[in-house]
C-alpha cells in the first residue's frame, strides 16, 4: 500500500488586520475548507494531506481581514466529492459561493442542483491528481455549464501552454485563472502568460491575485518578484481581476505567511482605493452573482 503524503503545515491561527481600510462587501475569492476528515475523507492517491481547516477558523479569518463574502473552492484532495465545499457554503450563508469539480458527463439535473446550492463555476485541475481533466474535455464541460452562466476555473501553469489562447479562447464560457496563472515570477515574457493577458484584454478571462508564494522565488512576503506579473494583469483588464487568500495555503513549501500580510500585498500593489474596491467588491459581485448594496448600506445576494 502506498503511504499517504505527510500532513501539510496549518495556516497561521492569528491572522492580523490589514494595513488599509477594506471596503464593505469585500470578497475572498479563493479559499478551501478541509475536514473533519472522518466525515469528509480524502481521495486516495492525492498529492498532499491537508490539516483540518474548519468553518470557525475561516470565519475568524474573514472577521480579522474585514471581509463579508467568500468563495469556497473544491480542492484536489476531494476529487469530485463536493460535499465538504457545499456543506460549508450552506452553513456560511447567502454571501458565499462554491466552485465545484464535476465530470464532463454530469447530468443537467445535477448541475441545476449544484447551482441551487451556490455553485457558480467548475474547477479544472491540470496540476495535481484527484481532479484532472484533459484539455480535450474542456469543450464538452464548457458546453454543459454555459446555460447556467458558470465559468471554468483553471488550476494550470500557463507558461506550459504557449497556444493557450487558441486552445481556450473558443470555449463558450468565461475562464478564471488561479494564482496569476501559476507561472514562475520570471514568466513576464513567456508566450503562455502573454496569451492569458490576451484573453483578459478580450474579456474572455479573469485572473486571481492569489497564491503569490506559489509564484515567487522569495521565501517570505512581500514577494517583490511577483509585482511585474500583477502589474501586467492589472494593465490588461482591471475589471477582470479578483483577490483570494488561498487559505489555508495547502501544500506550500515556504514559511507559512500571515493572512494580513497577504492582503497587504494588494494594498502595496494597488494604491488607488477605487481600484481596490473594484477588485475586492465589484468584480466578484459580477462574476459570482452576488447582490448589491441596498439603501441601508447592507449587502444581499
Hey, which residues are catalytic here? 246
> What is the crossing angle of helices 227-236 and 259-269, to 10°?
60
92 CB contacts (<8 Å, ≥6 apart)? 55, 58, 59, 70, 72
The partner residues of 154 in beta bridges, in order of sequence, read 124, 177
Three cell numbers, residue 43: 481521495
Residue that the C-alpha cell 466529492 belongs to: 81
What are the beta bridge partners of residue 17? none
Please name the helix (run of DSSP H) or strand (run of DSSP E) that holds residue 100, with its range, or none. Answer: strand 96-100
Q: Strands 69-73 and 27-31, how do they pair?
A: parallel
Amino acid at each position: 500500500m502506498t503511504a499517504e503524503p505527510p500532513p501539510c503545515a496549518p495556516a497561521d491561527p492569528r491572522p492580523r488586520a490589514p494595513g488599509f481600510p477594506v471596503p464593505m462587501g469585500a470578497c475572498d475569492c479563493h479559499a478551501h475548507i478541509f475536514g473533519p476528515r472522518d466525515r469528509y475523507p480524502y481521495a486516495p492517491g492525492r498529492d498532499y494531506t491537508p490539516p483540518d481547516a474548519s468553518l470557525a477558523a475561516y470565519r475568524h479569518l474573514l472577521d480579522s481581514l474585514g471581509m463579508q463574502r467568500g468563495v469556497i473552492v473544491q480542492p484536489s484532495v476531494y476529487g469530485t466529492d463536493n460535499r465538504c465545499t457545499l456543506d460549508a457554503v450552506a452553513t456560511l450563508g447567502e454571501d458565499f459561493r462554491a466552485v465545484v469539480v464535476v465530470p464532463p458527463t454530469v447530468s443537467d439535473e445535477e448541475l441545476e442542483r449544484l447551482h441551487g446550492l451556490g455553485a457558480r463555476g467548475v474547477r479544472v485541475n491540470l496540476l495535481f491528481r484527484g481532479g484532472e481533466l484533459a484539455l480535450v474535455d474542456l469543450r464538452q464541460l464548457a458546453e454543459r455549464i454555459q446555460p447556467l452562466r458558470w465559468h471554468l476555473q483553471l488550476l494550470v501553469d500557463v507558461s506550459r501552454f504557449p497556444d493557450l489562447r487558441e486552445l481556450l479562447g473558443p470555449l463558450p464560457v468565461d475562464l478564471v485563472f488561479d494564482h496569476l496563472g501559476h507561472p514562475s515570477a520570471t514568466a513576464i515574457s513567456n508566450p503562455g502568460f502573454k496569451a492569458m493577458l490576451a484573453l483578459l484584454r478580450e474579456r474572455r478571462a479573469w485572473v486571481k491575485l492569489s497564491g503569490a508564494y506559489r509564484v515567487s522565488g522569495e521565501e517570505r512576503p512581500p514577494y517583490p518578484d511577483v509585482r511585474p506579473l500583477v502589474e501586467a494583469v492589472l494593465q490588461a483588464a482591471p475589471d477582470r481581476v479578483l483577490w483570494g487568500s488561498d487559505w489555508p495555503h495547502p501544500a506550500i513549501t515556504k514559511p507559512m505567511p500571515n493572512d494580513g500580510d497577504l492582503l497587504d500585498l494588494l494594498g502595496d500593489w494597488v494604491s488607488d482605493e477605487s481600484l481596490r474596491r473594484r477588485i475586492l467588491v465589484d468584480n466578484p459581485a459580477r462574476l459570482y452573482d452576488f447582490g448589491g448594496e441596498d439603501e441601508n448600506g447592507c449587502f444581499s445576494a
